Amino acid sequence: MCKVIAIANQKGGVAKTTTAMNLGIGLANKGNKVLLIDNDPQGSLSICMGYKDPDSLELTIVDVIEKIVNEEDIPEGFAIMHHSENVDLLPSNIGLSAAEVSLVNVMSRELVLRDYVEQIKDQYSYIIIDCMPSLGVMTVNALACADTCLIPCAAAFLPVKGLQALLKTIYTVKRRLNSKLEIEGILLTMVDKRTNYAKEIIAEVNEVYGKSLRVLPTEIPLSIRASETSAMSKSIYEYDPKGKVASAYSELTDFVADNS
């Protein structure tokens, strides 16, 4: 069985990409076959995984979308790259912006990614989709094929405010397109426990959402080492294995694996 997890929040800079990479590699370290899908035209996940110039990649998610739309066969391993920490990556680049716009004229445009995922999911235990910071068609595509949605949320005032719109989108997708979709939980990220402010935000998130949704027991601490990892083409487990962010992501990995 394969579990598909969409990592979504229309706010940028809340650690979606960092979470996708470190959760994916964490699950691979536990012996799982994992595919990471970069579903953001900024290609941040592709960059973090070592493809520093994603716009020069020959094959990306854009080519997969094109094949699905044209109802062409997708050869095995098409457009998939391999990372040294034992995960596969379907990269993305700026072309995804145009591809997303062109889907407007396509029938069942919300289900293109599902078509692809259905074709490859028996090869993986986990597929993790790193969404772009919007609630547009490609994010809806990710939600339409996911088993769960993990919502990273920076422990700061504005990112917390944006959750309502995201939850509304998730519930609409669940009603209309994907009845199996569940919320994995809200993951508080960039938590600076030294400040009262962070504590207030965490208390507020628990108060507002804690009854209807799961606020995950693991919090990802704010750390310079974590922010440096993005440029290193490696996970936090390799870059700073003894640090608090590595142990938090490893705890998150255990939680997600136990919840599968």
Angle at 139 between CA 33 and CA 175, to 5 degrees: 100
Q: In terms of CB distance, is 108 or 195 closer to ligand ADP? A: 195
Per 3-state DSSP, the chain is made up of helix, strand and coil in percentages (nearest 5) of 50, 15, 35
253 binds Mg ion (CB under 5 A): no
Contacted entry of Mg ion, ligand ADP, none for residue 15, CB cut-off 5 to 8 Å set by kind = ligand ADP
Q: What is the DSSP letter of 231?
A: T
Helix or strand holding residue 81 (H, E)? strand 81-83
d(C-alpha 10, C-alpha 133), whole Å: 4
Q: Least distance from C-beta 232 to Mg ion, angstroms?
A: 16
d(CA 51, CA 57): 8
Nearer to Mg ion, 22 or 44 (CB): 44
Which position among 44, 46, 92, 125 is part of the footprint of Mg ion (CB under 5 A)? 44
To the nearest whole angstrom, how small is the minimum distance from the Cβ of residue 176 to Mg ion?
26
**Residue numbers at the binding site for ligand ADP (CB under 6 A):** 12-18, 44, 133, 189-190, 220, 222-223, 226-227, 230, 245
Give the one entry of ligand ADP, Mg ion, none that residue 189 binds, where binding means its C-beta sits below a cut-off of 5 to 8 angstroms depending on kind.
Answer: ligand ADP
Distance, C-alpha 208 to centroid of its chain: 24
- Residue 173 CB, shortest distance to ligand ADP, in Å, is 20
User: Rounded to an integer, what distance in angstroms lies between the CA atom of residue 177 and that of residue 181?
Assistant: 9
| Most distant CA atoms of the chain, gap in Å | 55
Among 11, 16, 83, 234, binds Mg ion (CB under 5 A): 16
Strands of the sheet containing 34-39, edge to edge, are: 81-83, 87-90, 34-39, 126-131, 3-7, 148-154, 182-189
Which residue number, 26 or 120, has a Cβ lying nearer to ligand ADP?
26
For ligand ADP, which is the closer residue by CB, 40 or 110?
A: 40
| 23 membership: H or E segment, kind and range | helix 16-29
CA triplet 119, 10, 252: central angle to 5 degrees? Answer: 70
Smallest gap, in angstroms, from Cβ of residue 123 to ligand ADP? Answer: 26
Closest CA to 73 of 108, 136, 119: 119
CB of 200 to ligand ADP, least distance (A): 19
In this complex, which beta carbon is closest to ligand ADP, that of residue 230 or of residue 260? Answer: 230
Q: Rule CB under 5 A: say whether 93 interacts with Mg ion.
A: no
Contact yes or no for 80/35 (Cβ under 8 A): yes
Q: Which is nearer to ligand ADP, 57 or 153 (CB)?
A: 153
226 binds, among Mg ion, ligand ADP, none (CB under 5 to 8 A by kind): ligand ADP
For ligand ADP, the closer of residues 57 and 190 by Cβ is 190
Asked if 17 touches Mg ion (CB under 5 A), the answer is yes
Distance CA 158, CA 61 (A): 31
Contact of residue 227 among ligand ADP, Mg ion, none (CB under 5-8 Å per partner type): ligand ADP
Residues within the interface to Mg ion (CB under 5 A): 16-17, 44
